[in-house]
Each structure stands twice: as structure tokens, then as C-alpha cells.
Amino acid sequence: MHYCSTTSATWANRILANLLDWLQPYRRLVVVALTLLLTLAGYTHLVSPLCGQDVPDPLRGYSKFAEIEARLKQLESDRAKLTSLGKTLGERDIWLLTMGSQPDAQRPAILVLGNVVGQHVMGRELAMRMAEQMIKLKETDNGIQQLLESHTIYFIPSPTPDATEKNFQFPVTGQNGNLSPTDDDKDFETGEDPPSDLNHDGWITMMRVKHQFGTHRSHPEDQRVLIPVDKSKQEVGEYMLYTESLDKDSDGEFGEDSSAGVDFNRNFTFNYEYFGKGAGPHQVSERETRAVADFMFDHPNIVFVLCFSPEDNLFQTWKGSTQTDQQRIKSKVLTADQVHLDRLADEFRKLHGGKGLPSEQAGQGSFSEFSYFHFGRWTFASRGWWIPPPEAKEENKSGGGEKRGAEELSALAWFDSQSINGFVPWQQISHPDFPGELVEVGGFKPLMQLNPPIALLEPLVLPHIEFLKKLREQFPVLEIRDVKAVKHESGLMDVRCRIVNVSPLPSMPEIGSVTRQWYPAQVSLVGAENVKMIEGSPRISVGRLEENGGEKELRWIFFSEQTTESPFKIRITAPTLQTVEFEIQRSQPEKENHDG
């Protein structure tokens, strides 16, 4: 962080100095122009154009944190409440926007998280635009209106704001870590060997060094792309490949410790990587992860979780098996849940329309897997956008069917088709650590493969909103059916009913009942709190009910020493359910009482 800001400042200063040299002959003119500019725009606006732009190319049109904050504040209303879940080390708030007709009530809810990975800035922008669009459409769009009327949507558009902001700074590296100091190479020094922008282009790319027995070689179809050598084919490499950097701590490693911080998406409890790079000192060690995890545990009314992350489970759905179902420590999606997650993912894919998603596995300690495996909720992770794969791949003859580097080639082709300057051509530099050797800097610019040009983002907003509207139809709904209440002459009451789940989803995911993080439905016989119960209890807990008619029969037998005329009521409550009541008349004993 500190490194980035200082380097970009010196870089800016250098340009400023060059500019001043060049402008020397026109000094008077320059003074006038500068005065004018300063008056018009103020110093801050003067500096940014000198950098060429105020945000890196791939993020042009994306809001920085301050703008996100301003946009959130504009959304505040009686149906959209803005609260802070805490502050990061960088003093940025982790904002929560609660949307619904009763934002303070714990009603059945959907939680939407923006980017859980710093570099995936589009996740934040998309979550923001979803919130803005839903506020705009809340009066006119029936589905949104209904959703906000009876449910709550929690938006945490920027769960890891410090990490995200790093990606707006020069030189652009592509960063996921927050501002916690880390010793990335575990040498007991912190941040002593960060990457360096050796060619002063504002990007941290790669550095290749010509080497007789290198680890990489050029792709046969495109010299720009490097592929690792295949030792089984007796291939010999041409290059050693490093991050664009100096070996500042002279340990033979290049740019390996920038004190990169802790990665939000590697800091959660499921499958946590102890001592892993970016994983933090332990699970949920960071202000950001703690704020989000605590918010979730404090809100058992959350039914669905949608987050944005490079790893996706909507196009590449999670797979479990009846064998993995038996594990004591669950590590694969439970098959009972997979059926429903697959069905909903299928709906999503129809709405989204994308194809050929590049494969990306959730890393250890990821948010989405925590949300499913430990928080026990229906969880969806959307990548949102990716570079579309080339049309109908004909087997390339020239490259001899080279599979290595295919993604890079398709990225380069796509950049060309869109006139995007996404690759820094290899350029020779002199490098103090490799005197007399051929060293070139170049490669893919960071961020470009994760974040689309802003124009391509807008069309993704509605499909994601449509998906939330689809989810509205999936919330568990329990009904009280076939109520029979008999009062015997002796005063003995016999009440029975069936509790039926009429939703297309089970009343809770199987993982919710396994983890016990999902609150069971409470069925109360209101008015019977102080009667003498023979069978049943005034309140009965009802666990998981299957979808489309899963049911449980309940029965109460008790003495009713009638002192009041107020009726008994059967009432179902749970944080994930709308409250339902059914009234039983006491005044009509010995008559069976049915609902409609």
C-alpha cells in the first residue's frame, strides 16, 4: 500500500519534471495556463491528468471507494437503510445497505455481497448497480415490489474495500490483500521486496530473462505468449520468468514480499490454509471478515447468499456424491442440496446467457464455501463476466494442437477484436540483478481478464436482478393444514394439525440442518402455555421439511381449564419464515374444526 502510493508519486514527479524541462521555452505561457488550471480545477485535478488518467484503463468507469460511498448515501430512504458494519485498517467503512419495507425487522432475507476478491472490482460495481436499479424500479417492477414488500435484501457491496482500492493505484499490480502487514516470504521482514515498475509504464507485468535452460518458451503461434516447458517432451526452455521486480533483499527471489495483506476470500473457516500466503494469521482474523461473518451469524433470517467472485458455482456447479454425503466433516455439497442448487443455477444460466466460463476453483478459506458449508445457507457465487471463448474452435494446424497458453491466446484475440490494449509488448531493459543479460519486461496487464470494459457491465445488471426475483419464489413457506380440535366433556382438549412446506425448496438446506445454523420452525399453541399437557408441549420445534408437500403432523392433548374466552392459536415462527397463524375456537367444543 505504502509502496504503491510512493512509487506512483515518484513516477508522477518524474513525468512532471520531464514536462517542465520540455516546457522551459514556453515558461510564461505555462505559468498563465497553470494559474488558470489551478483556479479552475484545483491542484488535485491538475495532478491526475498528469498521470494520464485517474484510474487504470481496465477500471475506467468503475467507482472508487469514495464514489461508491457517495452513491450508497444517495440510495438512503425509508426502504433502504445504510449502516456501517465496521471500519477497515484503511478507515474505510464496510457498508451495509438494507433494502425492504421494514429494514429493521428480521424478515426472510437475501444477502448480496459485492467483490469478495479485491481484483474482481466488477463484483462491487455490479452489486451497486443492482441496488440502484432495484431502488429505481421498486414502484414499477412487480417482482421487485413484492420482494421488497415481504422480504429483506442485504447488500454489502464492498466487503473488502482496502484491497479493492489498491487496484485503482499505480503501478497496477492486481491485488487481493487488505492493509494488514504481512511477511509474504516468511523471512521475518515485512514488505522488503515489492515488485518494481521497471519500464515506468504504470503496470507491474512480467520479466523474462533469456536463459539457456529456461523454464518457459515462446508459444509457437504467438511469440508474445510464454508457455512452461514440457520436460516429458525433452523441450528446452528459452526464458526464466519473474514478476517485474528487483531482488531488493538479495535472497534470489524477485518481488516476493510486498506485504500484500490478507485476502478476504482466503480468510474464512472452511478448508482454511494454515500459514498460507494471504490467508492471515488465522481464520477470520481480519476486521473485514469478522464484520461480515458476525453480521451473518447475527442474521439467521438469511435464506440465500449471492456473492461475486472469480470462482463461480452457477456455471460450474458444485458436485457431491452419496459417498461424500457420509463424511463426518462435510467437504462436498450434499446431494440433497445439489439438486436444488443445480436447478437454480440452471435458471441463472438462462438469464445470464454466457458460456465457456474459464475454470477457477474456490481457494482455501473462500467466502462462498464458508457461506454454504459453515453458515449453512443456499449460496451462489457469480463471476459475472469473462473473456468469451473463441467461436467454434477449429483445430489449429499451425500450432500442432498446442493446448498450453490457449486462454492467453484467446484473451489476446479478444483484446484485438475489441481494440483493447491489454498486453504490454516485451521490451528490453537493463536490470542490475542480471548484468549483461537479455531482460525484457512485458505481458498481460493485470485486472483486464477479470473486469470488463464498463459498457459490457451494464447488461449484466438485469439478469442478476431477475435471479433475485426468481429466488423470491423459492423461499420456504409453511402452512398449517387439517387442523382438528376436539374438546371432550371432561374438558380434555385434543388438537392436531399438519405443518406443510409448500415451497419448491426444502424448508432448509440439508447443510443447514447438519450445521444447525438454520433455526428450526417453532410451532406454538398460543394460549396453552399454562395448561396441563398430557401429550405435546406448548411449543414444538419442526426441523427440515422436504419441498412441495414435506410435512409433519403435530398433536396436543391437554386439560383446558377455561377461564377466558380467547381462542387458541397455532402459530409458526422462524427467522427464515413469514409468521403464520391459525385460530381455534374454544367456544365450539366437540366440533371438528377444519381450515379451508
Residues at the site binding another protein, with contacts judged by CB under 8 A? 186-188, 250-251, 268-269, 272, 274-275, 281-285, 290, 293-294, 297, 300, 328-329, 374, 514-520, 522, 529, 536-541, 573-575
The amino acid sitting at 78 is: D
Q: How far is the CB of 188 from another protein (least distance, A)?
A: 4
CA dist., res. 437 & res. 364, Å (int): 39
Q: Which is nearer to another protein, 162 or 286 (CB)?
A: 286
Q: Which CB, 55 or 85, lies closer to another protein?
A: 85
Instruction: Closer to another protein by CB, 350 or 532: give it.
Output: 532
Minimum separation from the CB atom of position 154 to another protein (A)? 18
CB of 414 to another protein, least distance (A): 40
In the complex with another protein, the residue whose CB is nearer, 362 or 409, is 362
The grid coordinates of residue 125 equal 460495481
Q: Of the two residues 63 and 576, which places its CB atom closer to another protein in the complex? A: 576
Question: Between residues 187 and 325, which has the closer beta carbon with respect to another protein?
Answer: 187
- For another protein, give the closer residue by CB, 469 or 539: 539
Crossing angle of helices 27-50 and 2-23, in 10° steps, is 160
**DSSP code of 460?**
G
- C-alpha–C-alpha distance, residues 342 and 581, integer Å: 33
> What is the grid cell recorded at 96?
451495509
At its nearest, how many Å lie between another protein and the CB of residue 367?
Answer: 12
Please report how close the Cβ of residue 274 comes to another protein at its closest, in angstroms. Answer: 7
Q: Is 336 helix (H, G, I), strand (E, B) or coil?
A: helix
Task: Tell me whether residue 180 or residue 382 sits nearer to another protein (CB atom).
Answer: 180
d(CA 228, CA 226): 7
Answer yes or no: are the C-beta atoms of 441 and 222 closer than 8 Å.
no
Residue 256 or 312: the one with the smaller Cβ distance to another protein is: 256
Q: Which helix (H) or strand (E) holds 208?
A: strand 206-214
CA-wise closest residue to 235 among 226, 247, 244: 226
CA 234 to chain CA mean position, Å: 42
Instruction: Give me the least distance between CB of 392 and another protein, in Å please.
Output: 46
H-helix segments, 51-105: 65-75
Q: Which long-range contacts (CB under 8 A, 24 or more apart) does 416-425 make?
A: 418/453, 420/448, 420/453, 421/57, 421/445, 422/58, 422/448, 422/449, 423/224, 424/199, 424/201, 424/203, 424/205, 425/224
358 vs 538 by CB, closer to another protein: 538
**CB 272 to another protein: min, Å:** 8
How, if at all, do strands 521-526 and 568-573 pair?
antiparallel
Query: How far, in Å, CA of 186 to CA of 277, rounded?
Result: 9
Q: For residues 115 and 121, is the Cβ–Cβ distance under 8 A?
A: yes
CB of 244 to another protein, least distance (A): 23
CB of 337 to another protein, least distance (A): 15
Strands (E) in 419-528, as ranges, are 423-429, 439-444, 478-487, 492-501, 521-526
Q: Specify which residues 190 forms β-bridges with.
A: none
Rounded to the nearest whole angstrom, what is the least distance from the CB of residue 582 to another protein in the complex? Answer: 18
